[in-house]
């Protein structure tokens, strides 16, 4: 099963910015909207970004998403200790007719 490629980990000091990339193909990211999910330790994933850049109610604007071609990006600005979590991108794959998640990125606040 195809997966989207993310860096295993990123880190930064409190208040700084991190960027998480998500690389796919023409049949997934290139053909559909991207969502991002935050998974705090020991909890279920939580929707963070949908339709490439939209935020659900209650998600602070420190989190922002974008997409270009077959790649997507999640930016977290003003990093806080509570942002330490695993982050996953996801999209529907039209050729596989399955949903694919990214490999996941662990964010560490130094």
Residue ranges binding another protein (CB under 8 A): 1, 3, 32-33, 35, 37, 39, 43-47, 50-51, 56, 86, 88, 90-92, 96-104
**Any alpha helices (H) in the chain, and if so which ranges?**
none
Q: CB of residue 73 vs another protein: minimum separation in angstroms? A: 18
- Closest contact distance (angstroms) between CB of 72 and another protein is 14
Choice between 48 and 76, CB closer to another protein: 48
d(CA 89, CA 38): 9
Shortest CB 47 distance to another protein, Å: 5
Instruction: Name the minimum Å distance from CB 37 to another protein.
Output: 7
Query: Which of 85, 68, 69 minimizes the C-alpha distance to 18?
Result: 85
Max Cα–Cα distance, the chain, nearest Å: 41
Strand, coil or helix: 42: coil
The Cβ of residue 37 has, within 10 Å, a number of other Cβ atoms equal to 21
């Amino acid at each position: 099963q195809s997966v989207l490629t993310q860096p295993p980990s990123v880190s930064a000091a409190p208040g700084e910015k991190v960027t998480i990339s998500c690389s796919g193909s023409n049949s997934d990211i290139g053909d559909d909207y991207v969502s991002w999910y935050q998974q705090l330790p020991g909890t279920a994933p939580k929707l963070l970004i949908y339709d490439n850049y939209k935020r659900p109610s209650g998600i602070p604007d420190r989190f922002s998403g974008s997409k270009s071609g077959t790649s997507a990006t999640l930016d977290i600005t003003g990093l806080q200790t509570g942002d330490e979590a695993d982050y996953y991108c996801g999209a529907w794959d039209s050729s596989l007719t399955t949903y694919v998640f990214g490999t996941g990125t662990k964010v560490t606040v130094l």
